[in-house]
Structure 1
């Protein structure tokens, strides 16, 4: 009997994994389509903005016009800022799309090895049922139901732990970005009251660090969203999670033209704090679900032990 139990537990884990992979792939392919469209749009924008810079630098009619009115340098700075913003946003989406494509590849490869797990599970379950019917049909039914519920809860518990791990990774990155922006704000304030070249240089160093981490954060937020694909959560939380996919785009919108301006740093801090609050909210919900699962696991194990002892 122990041999059947071990085999059934192994196969039920495979069935659970197959269902989760299917749900995650469904989510990833939706992200892939959305990101591919966004990448195409941002690539066109990047080419256009760089073209504007090139025309001014190479002496086009527009360059002549701005030279005549004495605003060529000002306009060139503006065009360079817009080109840089477009490039950063495009690079971020490309990085995110590459990560999604990698995940799709590996999950599809893993899924190939799980195609027959449901058939195998049913076959072994039928063999065990036949054996139990011979010994004690009534007890067999009770034990079978409890064992199935126990295996299901174990799978759910592992999936919630994986989602919590993904969410915590995103939260850690958000906290790191928050610290960088806080330091940039502090040095920016010092810069405003006459800190000079050094304070401005330090401020921009922290802003550059925050910008680099935003790209990593976007991948982590997308992965968190994917891990939640097979977990039933409230509709309001699902709406928050769906919004994670476009965080970097919103974050970078309009930020470069006034990046050095203190007010823009404050706005960025608010954006990061808002997403951090959303991630914490989802994590709190997951922790509550995990605690409820653990209580039920203890209860099912106790019931199973009682049935076995009495039998």
Structure 2
């Protein structure tokens, strides 16, 4: 009877920890959603301003006439259009992020709804166990309770570590894909510099588009990785710069429109992506070490609990 109740307690403690984790993630996502909405509003306002500048240059104005006399209108118009394109790209990225955050919030609400009564279930099992202990006056019950609590907590924490490792692996897979296409863009860009023509330029930009899509994918997965890390940050023996993880894509997209015909820009973006990949890989190495230690510790606790039960 006690062993059955203990197994139920271990399972339900895992569910309780999940609920706490998801509630924390939900609050984090809601704050991120608010920040993203503010970002979208600011970008929409900036886009309207930039587009107005382009419209003025393309239409007749004294400013345009003066710039034309100086031979600078084409250069100025190209720069303004580039700024419009940069803002549009950031706006598209922010809008996609908002939609994905909305989906994540809806999913978390569904999960939390399923665990709505988990605290009641937990207290019911505790009450049953307390009554059983009082009825049978088991001398080893206090130590058994401690080991049961430890096992439940350790299992739940190990699950969270494994969730973080899985999320980190997903980030690095997307980054690997982005690096592959940036390498290809670099190769075609080199050919383009030596007179490759329209075809090589088109292929280069197609690879850049592919890399951009994978960077977005990495950022989406990074958001989940960041949430998983936030849940365990206080319990792992390693330093994690959680806010810094989400800044990478901002840097990448900031310079994306900047003269992609310059080969050095592709090289910079590729090095930036490789640096992020190495950061995630280092975090994953540390997390895997932590998980291995916790597995050994969990095995020891299980063995001690089993020995105690067998000795009663």
Structures share a fold, TM > 0.5?
yes
Q: Which residue of 1 aligns with 2:222?
A: 221
Three-state SS of the structure 1 residue aligned to 2:8 is helix
Q: Alpha-carbon deviation of 1:64?
A: 2.9
Name the structure 2 match of 1:15: 16
CA–CA distance in structure 1, aligned partners of residues 81 and 239 of structure 2? 39
Distance 1:254 1:66 in 2: 27
Question: Are 1:72 and 2:73 matched, yes or no?
Answer: yes
**1:137-160 alpha-carbon deviations (Å, 9 max, x no partner):** 321122221112111111111111
Alpha-carbon RMSD across the aligned residues, in angstroms, is: 2.1
Please report how far the alpha carbon of residue 168 of structure 1 lies from its aligned counterpart in structure 2 after TM superposition.
0.9
Shift of 1:258: 1.6
1:238 aligns with 2:240: yes
The 3-state SS of whatever aligns with 2:149 is helix
In 2, the alpha carbon distance for the partners of 1:139 and 1:229 equals 37
Partner of 1:101 in structure 2?
102
CA distance in 2, matches of 1:147, 1:61: 81
Preserved contact between residue 27 and residue 229 of structure 1 (Cα < 8 Å) = no
Partner of 2:268: 267
Shift of 1:299: 0.6
Task: Report matched runs for 1:1-311 at 5 Å.
Answer: 1=1, 3-232=4-233, 237-239=239-241, 241-311=242-312
Q: Could you say if the C-alpha distance between residues 55 and 235 of structure 1 is closer, same or farther in structure 2, counting changes exceeding 3 Å?
A: farther
Deviation, 1:189, is 1.6
Consecutive unaligned residues of structure 1, counting only runs of 5 or more, are none
Cα deviations across residues 161-214 of structure 1 (Å, max 9, x unaligned)?
111111111110011111111111112122223333322222111112112222
CA contact (8 A) 2:161 2:291 kept: yes
Identify unmatched segments of 5+ residues in structure 2. Answer: none
Asked if the contact 1:89–1:248 (Cα under 8 Å) also holds between the matched residues in 2, the reply is no
Q: How many matched pairs?
A: 310
In structure 2, the CA distance between the partners of 1:245 and 1:62, relative to structure 1 (3 Å rule), is: farther
Find the aligned partners of 2:286 and 2:31 in 1 and give their Cα distance.
24
